[in-house]
Amino acid sequence: MAAGAVSLLPTQSQAAPKPTVDEVRKQVEQLYEEAEAPTEEYNAVREEQKKLQGEVDSAQDRLARKQQEINELREKIGPLAAAQYRSGGIDPSVQLFLSGDPDDYLDRAEMLGRTSDRQAEALRAMQSMQREIAQERATAAQQLKALEETRAKAAEKKEEVQAKLTKARKLLNSMTAAQRARMEADQEREDATAGVSDSASTYNGPASGRAKAALDFAYAQLGKPYEWGSTGPDSYDCSGLTGAAWRAAGVSLPRTVKQQYDAGRKVAKSDLQPGDIIYWYNDNQHNGMYVGNGKAIHAPRTGKNVEIAPLDSMPFFAASRP
């Protein structure tokens, strides 16, 4: 029995067969595709983070100004209080008795009244300012808390994306140089068959006006690498490219695929015009720009460059016109 058990060990300890080149490629592409959704979520959180940071900065500026106003009011109230003590600390009847001139006493009493009025007004102003500053502090505290929550969420999404990309890199690194070369050659053949191109060129299609300006910019980015979370000028993710292109044409678009989808006027596939934004898979995963002739320009995924690809190279979901 012992001998039999020993004889089984080599079989049990054998490593699982390594995946084939095609299997690795499919796994890597799947990981890259899975990284797109959290990338867009990360972009949305980062936009919220910027907004909250601006609100926090504004609140802190307001607090500083109000604190300065309170300090100035305190400086005014101090001398007024001292004057009141000097002029009003004695019983009025005694003041009249000590005064050799009743008119002089009346003048001093009137001045004292004015001093008291000014002090009361300054005190009321300071009390109002203190209430305002307390409210500002409470608002700022809430905004700071929200900001910290978005920072934590952004870090979580960043970690999720990086974990998928790291796994993809490990798969690629497990291949031999010959296997990687074969995979790249296969991809190039597929791209050529599908009409995918990332060579630098100039847009010469039928678009005009702002749409042409946006496409001119997009074409100038051909061959630049995809990088998640990037809006240029040296690299882009998908919504980073569409946003930068239309920004160059004078149109401000929101940051993420989902936000761009929600902001645009929807157009049917049959009514597409060059410059329209194309959404593949769903309304929040991947987008690009229609260039005409059934093709689109987009920033595809990690490991690839801005390219022109067939419109139907991915499942078409919708289109919008900025």
- Looking up residue 274, the CATH number of its domain turns out to be 3.90.1720.10
165, 222: one domain: no
More confident residue, 106 or 72: 72
157, 235: one domain: no
- Looking up residue 34, the CATH number of its domain turns out to be 1.10.287
169, 296: one domain: no
Q: Give catalytic residue positions.
A: 238, 286, 298
Confidence of residue 180 (pLDDT cuts 50, 70, 90): confident
Q: What is the pLDDT of residue 90?
A: 46
Nearest to 301 by CA among 215, 235, 244: 235
Percent of the chain with pLDDT over 90: 39
More confident residue, 150 or 213: 213
Confidence of residue 14 (pLDDT cuts 50, 70, 90): low
> Which domain-ending residue is among 118, 139, 173?
173
286-292 sheet: strands from edge to edge: 265-267, 316-321, 277-280, 286-292, 295-298, 307-310
161, 279: one domain: no
DSSP codes joined into one string, 51-113: HHHHHHHHHHHHHHHHHHHHHHHHHHHHHHHHHHHHHHSS-HHHHHHH-S-HHHHHHHHHHHH
Confidence of residue 97 (pLDDT cuts 50, 70, 90): very low
Amino acid at position 111, single letter: M
pLDDT in tens, 204-233: 999 999 999 999 999 999 999 999 999 999
Please give the average per-residue pLDDT across 86-109, as a whole number.
52
pTM: 0.69
pLDDT in tens, 196-206: 888 768 999 99
Residue 277: exposed, middle, or buried by beta-carbon count in 10 A (0-12, 13-18, 19+)?
buried
Question: Does any domain span residue 155?
Answer: yes
Token representation of residue 114? 């004015």
Confidence of residue 15 (pLDDT cuts 50, 70, 90): low
> Residue 158 pLDDT more than 50?
yes
Q: What is the pLDDT of residue 6?
A: 43
Please, which residues bridge with residue 316 across strands?
280
pLDDT in tens, 16-34: 567 788 888 888 888 888 8
Structural domain harbouring 279: 198-321
